[in-house]
């Protein structure tokens, strides 16, 4: 019985105008699925990473600012932030002082160009969901360039019917027959769009990639110089795992080669080892450095794609209808390429380079005085807590959505720069005249929205009313 229906997928993708590179990359993942591969990485097959170079201890030998004309900064901007109730690109969310993620990103780029009088290149990797609004927003920064000069489009791939392994059909909403292929799609997108050849032809050798919602990931000149010095084709920024990072992906070794294991690739019986932060000490910040000439060679070596580990996500074709057909969404992670390059490396960076906004708890911390804005438009942690961000746990019944958070901040966020942890249970309204220090819990069991009185709260539990 035939189980490989790739020709049907290829036909659908060609009709949608997808590039040969995108089709080849999907074929690799689909072939692995048909072959029965699960994408799982068993604990018994890997070893922990025990030692890595630390950014603070690296001796500068190469001046990063001399390499700016050979560098491109790429920001991944495909997400909508639907988990927080957003319907536009998450990067258009106001995060601090009325400025959005894209404001800070644009101002950082323009500041570097001006300071070093160099044509540092910038690319925004959009999805079809984020392109229009993001490009329109950046028109307020015309110095960055128009859409053709700064935009890289993410591909889409068909969802796979879990029963037949054929392209799923959903006439009620054909748009739901497609899904994003994960940020590993950056490699076929660069190739298929022509961007990779254009950059190489312009003498660009170094690419720094990070998520648009991680404002800690600014272009670091010391890291740029160090990356050039290592002559690696690929370098991953990692940070030490804490208890809050137990469920996130981690770095490991297999047969002496570095690899990335995501939570979706962990076998159930390996969960305790996966979450052991003493055994697996480092996690991927998704701040990556790539030598574009090495990338070009790697793509040519494999016939136009990178053989990234497949990640199989089981879903329903309509995520809002659990009775709709079961599908597999085949994805790849761009960090998984660390295993594919002939020479790859990793460097441990301060936690301050990892400040993504995935929840309203993250957003509250960023909006507070726990983070400050530098003259060159970076957002950095205040030094009061020794470089550690406050661990915030907001009640998801009352703070899950951005508008729910906004309605509970009366005039702005409370002071959190000396706060180690803040736990909120029940609906509580805060204001800027409130400050937290140490470990604080605020509880409101009444069910009605109640204000917390102005004042200082340190290492305590406050119960309302």
pLDDT tens-digit readout, 195-218: 999 999 999 999 999 999 999 999
292-296 own/partner pairs: CB under 8 Å, 24+ apart: 292/72, 292/196, 292/199, 292/200, 292/204, 292/205, 292/206, 292/207, 293/200, 293/205, 294/233, 294/234, 294/341, 294/342, 294/343, 295/187, 295/190, 295/196, 295/207, 295/233, 296/196, 296/197, 296/200
pLDDT of res. 405: 97
1 — pLDDT class (breaks 50, 70, 90) = very low
Q: Could you report the per-residue pLDDT of 382-441, keeping only the tens digit for each?
A: 888 877 889 999 999 999 999 999 999 999 999 999 999 999 999 999 999 999 999 999
pLDDT of res. 347: 97
Q: Could you report the per-residue pLDDT of 306-321, keeping only the tens digit for each?
A: 999 999 999 999 998 9
Compute the half-sphere exposure of residue 443: CA atoms within 13 Å on the CB side of its CA: 6
pLDDT of res. 29: 96
Q: Is the pLDDT of residue 255 over 60?
A: yes
Q: Could you report the per-residue pLDDT of 278-296, keeping only the tens digit for each?
A: 999 999 999 999 999 999 9
The share of the chain scoring above pLDDT 70, in percent, equals: 99
61 — pLDDT class (breaks 50, 70, 90) = low
87 — pLDDT class (breaks 50, 70, 90) = confident
Phi and psi at residue 125, in whole multiples of 5°? Answer: -90, 105
More confident residue, 264 or 455: 455
Q: Is the pLDDT of residue 275 over 50?
A: yes
Cα angle: 74, vertex 77, 82; to 5 degrees: 160
pLDDT of res. 58: 86
363 — pLDDT class (breaks 50, 70, 90) = very high
pLDDT of res. 274: 96
The structure's pTM equals 0.93
pLDDT of res. 3: 66
**C-alpha dihedral (194, 298, 30, 83), degrees to nearest 10:** -70
Q: State mean pLDDT over 326-336.
A: 96
Q: Where are the alpha helices (DSSP H) in 35-122?
A: 101-116
226 — pLDDT class (breaks 50, 70, 90) = very high
pLDDT of res. 2: 54
DSSP string, 171-211: TT-GGGGEE---GGGHHHHHHHHSHHHHHHHTT--EEEEEE
Task: Measure the CA–CA gap between 96 and 101, rounded to whole angstroms.
Answer: 9
**C-alpha dihedral (82, 83, 89, 90), degrees to nearest 10:** 160
In the predicted model, what is the mean pLDDT of the chain?
94
Name beta bridge partners: 124: 75, 151
Alpha-carbon dihedral sign for residues 377, 383, 389, 390: negative
Kindly list the structural domains of the chain, giving each domain's residue range(s) and its CATH number in brackets, ordered by start.
6-353 (3.90.550.10), 360-464 (2.160.10.10)
Q: Is the pLDDT of residue 299 over 60?
A: yes
Q: State mean pLDDT over 85-111.
A: 95
pLDDT of res. 294: 98
Q: Which pair of structure tokens corresponds to residue 28?
A: 């690799």
């Amino acid at each position: 019985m035939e189980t490989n229906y790739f020709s049907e997928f290829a036909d659908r993708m060609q009709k949608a105008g997808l590039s040969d590179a995108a089709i080849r990359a999907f074929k690799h993942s689909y072939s692995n699925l048909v072959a029965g591969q699960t994408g799982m990485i068993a604990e018994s097959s890997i070893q922990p990473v025990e030692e890595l170079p630390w950014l603070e201890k690296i001796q500068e030998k190469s001046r990063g600012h001399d390499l700016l004309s050979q560098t491109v900064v790429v920001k991944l901007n495909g997400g909508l932030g639907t988990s927080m109730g957003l319907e536009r690109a998450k990067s258009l969310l106001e995060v601090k002082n009325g400025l959005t993620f894209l404001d800070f990103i644009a101002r950082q780029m323009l500041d570097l160009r001006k300071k070093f009088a160099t044509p540092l290149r910038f690319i925004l990797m959009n999805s079809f969901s984020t392109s229009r609004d993001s490009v329109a927003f950046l028109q307020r920064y015309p110095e960055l360039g128009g859409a053709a000069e700064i935009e890289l489009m993410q591909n889409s791939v068909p969802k796979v019917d879990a029963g037949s392994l054929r392209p799923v059909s959903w006439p009620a909403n054909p748009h739901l027959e497609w899904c994003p292929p994960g940020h590993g799609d950056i490699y076929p997108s660069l190739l298929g769009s022509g961007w990779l050849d254009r950059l190489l032809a312009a003498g660009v050798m170094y690419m720094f990639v990070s998520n648009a919602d991680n404002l800690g990931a600014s272009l670091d000149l010391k890291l740029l110089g160090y990356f050039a010095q290592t002559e690696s084709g690929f370098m991953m920024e990692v940070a030490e795992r804490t208890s809050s990072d137990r469920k996130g992906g981690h770095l490991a070794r297999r047969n002496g080669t570095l690899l990335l294991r995501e939570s979706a690739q962990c076998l159930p019986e390996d969960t305790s080892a996966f979450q052991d932060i003493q055994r697996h000490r480092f996690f991927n910040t998704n701040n990556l450095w790539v030598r574009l000439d090495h990338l070009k060679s790697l793509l040519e070596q494999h016939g136009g794609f990178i053989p990234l580990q497949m990640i199989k996500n089981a879903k329903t074709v309509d995520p809002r209808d659990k009775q709709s057909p079961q599908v597999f969404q085949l994805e790849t992670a761009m960090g998984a390429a660390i295993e594919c390059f002939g020479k790859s490396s990793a460097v441990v960076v301060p936690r301050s380079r990892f400040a993504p906004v995935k929840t309203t708890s993250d957003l509250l911390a960023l909006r507070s005085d726990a983070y400050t804005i530098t003259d060159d438009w970076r957002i950095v942690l205040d030094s009061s807590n020794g470089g550690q961000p406050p661990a915030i746990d907001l009640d998801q019944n009352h703070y899950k959505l951005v508008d729910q958070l906004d309605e509970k901040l009366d005039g702005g966020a409370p002071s959190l720069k000396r706060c180690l942890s803040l736990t909120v249970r029940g609906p509580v309204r805060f204001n800027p005249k409130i400050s937290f220090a140490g470990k604080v819990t605020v509880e409101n069991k009444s069910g009605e929205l109640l204000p917390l009185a102005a004042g200082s709260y340190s290492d305590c539990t406050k119960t309302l009313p």
